[in-house]
Amino acid sequence: MNRTTVSLIAGVTALAAVTGFASMSEPQVSGEETAKAAAELPVERTSLLCPAPSSSDLAETAYTSFTPVTGGVGADGRAALTAAGEQDEQDEKDEKEKKKEKPFPAPKEPGKPVTSETSGAESPALVGTAEGRLAPGWTVQQTTEVEAGSGRGLFGTACSAPDTDFWFPGASTAKERTDYAHLTNPDDSAAVADIELYGEDGALKSTVGEGIKIPPHSSEAVLLSTLMDEPQADLTVHVTVRSGRVAAAVEAVDDTLGGDWLAPSAAPAGSLVLPGVPEDATSVRLVAFAPGDTDADLKVRLASPTGTITPAGHETLHVKAGMTAAVDLGDLTRGEAGSLVLAPTGRSTPVVAALRVVRGKGDSQETAFIPATAAVDARATAADNRSEGSTLSLVAPGRAAKVKVTASAGSDGGTAATKSYTIGRGTTQNVRLPVPGGLKGTYALTVEVLSGGPVHAARMLEAARDGVPMFTVQTLPDDRGTVKVPEAEQDLSVLMK
């Protein structure tokens, strides 16, 4: 009996160091004594999933895979990215056939990015796993350029970990939009998910989005317009998983305004931060949703380089319970870096939110999305930064903060560089990035909060083509490279009670 108790304690402690099983919150305690401080340990396993990049024959997709250097890890580690749906098939192939497959990038060592490229509409979704020293903070960026046609533009997304609940304010089934919800299952058994849609008048009744089955190691793309009868300009999509786990993302394609990937909003909360609105944005549209039974009244503030200001005519936003609210904020930033900060006017009511941002004018417009994002807890990572066209935005909505930014070695050569910044209270700064010495190829950025905070971050990539300001924005939540593991010790007294 004693041996069983000790084994159970050891098993729970080991399990807590694995991404996907560990709790990221402080352990709950009760009784007269509090638990000893939890140790910060590197995660031992990380799962990432990338959606199929495009349905366009003109698509050119670049993958960048990177693991930042983390202290306290062992010498061993491995990482692999595999086309979704091919795992079982690969088990039946011999080694010679496997070598003929086009490799997808996986880091060989921490601190150096690895890249690869694919073309056309047949590129698959990817399922990836990193273990050992390659697991903490492992990041894969998928960036797709479509030169012409519907959805012309730059589509970017950070491949994400599987979960069971996702909110996507900012989707649409308007006649000019073609939006797909991509669901990718990393596990050996099928997953079952539901897709709920909420418009300006509330829930849209449909049974088509119920019980969607995603086979093992596979990905399904669901056209949102097939789940309803009438077009909706502004939608909130809620993906819940009945069994298993999936990674979820919305691919938003506009006939004239390009498009981008819409990542999930941060979990419903009373206050939200949407960082990194481009300084030259010509149109900013805010979409918000209150999931509960209570209306939400929000203060709308812009954190600019000089402080927090109130957008004229848009001081507050009322969001009815269970209904999607949307408002055009125009050229919100007026030529300066900015981040949107939402806070309750009175009673705090959880909401989710996202921005649709447009750059350019006339026929030369392009779209990206900025969902509300969690703060950088310890470190955030962004892969696929170029010598030109990369912008890092940092916002400290509450207190001033000191931040360290490290640019990694280049994928084809170069040495890492580091620079520190102070972000004033209530301000957004587009910082001058450190550039790796002798840079060849692309590089990764890591953002670490040294003091103060909290800090929220976003990275914009841009690539002008034929006068079109193509761009994509990825928010940078914590990369979850470490996890709190409570200190456990043997207590045989519980067996005597």
DSSP state letters, 365-406:
EEEEEEE-----SSEEEEEEE-SSSEEEEEEESSS-EEEEEE
Please give the average per-residue pLDDT across 56-80, as a whole number.
Answer: 93
Instruction: Quote the CA–CA distance of 123 and 117 in Å, as a whole number.
Output: 10
- Predicted confidence (pLDDT) at residue 95 exceeds the cutoff of 50: no
Closest CA to 148 of 274, 16, 60, 249: 60
Give the model's pLDDT for residue 466: 86
pLDDT, position 89? 45
Question: How far is 102 from 492, CA to CA, in rounded Å?
Answer: 55
Report the pLDDT averaged over residues 292-299. Answer: 96
Contact 489, 496 (CB under 8 A): no
How many whole angstroms separate alpha carbon 413 and alpha carbon 357? 34
Phi and psi, residue 494, nearest 5°: -65, -25
What pLDDT score was predicted for residue 323?
97
Q: Is the pLDDT of residue 465 over 80?
A: yes
pLDDT band at 273 (very low <50, low <70, confident <90, very high): very high
Quick one: pLDDT at residue 464?
85
For β-strands 401-407 and 126-132, DSSP reports them as: unpaired
Are 171 and 262 in contact, with CB atoms under 8 Å apart? Answer: yes
In angstroms, rounded to a whole number, what is the distance separating the alpha carbons of residues 435 and 443?
A: 9
Output the pLDDT for position 406.
97
* Helix spans in 77-224 (H): 87-91, 95-99
Q: What is the pLDDT of residues 309-363, one digit of tens each?
A: 999 899 999 999 999 999 999 888 889 999 999 999 999 999 999 999 999 999 8
Burial class for 381, CB neighbours closer than 10 Å (0-12, 13-18, 19+) = buried
Q: CA angle, 464 as apex, 472 and 429 as ends, to 5°?
A: 50
CA distance 79 to 92: 21
C-alpha 183/C-alpha 125 separation (Å) is 10
Q: Is 492 helix (H, G, I), strand (E, B) or coil?
A: helix
Provide the pLDDT for residue 225: 96
CA–CA separation, 353 and 351 (whole Å): 7
The answer to whether the peptide bond before residue 454 is cis (omega within 30 degrees of 0) is yes
pLDDT at residue 497, rounded to an integer: 56
Q: What is the reported pLDDT for 23?
A: 34
% residues pLDDT > 90 (the chain): 77
Predicted confidence at residue 97, as pLDDT, reads 47
Kindly indicate the confidence band of residue 483, based on its pLDDT and cuts at 50, 70 and 90.
Answer: confident
pLDDT at 72: 87
pLDDT at residue 27 tops 60: no
Model confidence at 207: pLDDT above 60: yes
How far is Cα 208 from Cα 210, in angstroms, rounded to an integer?
Answer: 6
Residue-wise pLDDT for 394-449, tens only, equals: 999 999 999 999 999 999 999 999 999 999 999 999 999 999 999 999 999 999 99
pLDDT band, very low/low/confident/very high, at 198 (cuts 50, 70, 90): very high
pLDDT value at residue 11: 42
pLDDT of residue 10: 40
104: pLDDT confidence band, cut at 50, 70 and 90?
A: confident
The C-alpha atoms of residue 28 and residue 25 are separated, in whole angstroms, by 9
Query: Is the pLDDT at 494 greater than 90, yes or no?
Result: no
Does residue 115 register a pLDDT over 90? yes
438 Cβ neighbours under 8 A, 6+ residues apart: 410, 413, 414, 415
Contacts with 312 (C-beta within 8 Å, 6 or more apart), sequence order: none
**Beta partners for residue 340, in sequence order:** 274, 302
Query: DSSP 3-state assignment of 420?
Result: strand
Which of 187, 146, 137 minimizes the C-alpha distance to 163? 187
The reported pLDDT for the residue numbered 82 is 92
Q: What are phi and psi for residue 184, nearest 5 degrees?
A: -120, 130
Say yes or no to pLDDT of 78 above 80: yes
Instruction: Let me know: does 395 contact 308? Beta carbons within 8 Å.
Output: no
Average pLDDT over residues 148-162: 93
More confident residue, 99 or 313: 313
Tokens representing 204 are 């849209």
Ranges 95-104, 179-188, 211-220: which has the least confidence: 95-104
Q: Which strands make up the sheet holding 45-50, listed edge to edge?
A: 45-50, 126-132, 77-83
What integer best gives the mean pLDDT of the chain?
A: 88
For the chain, how many residues are written? 497
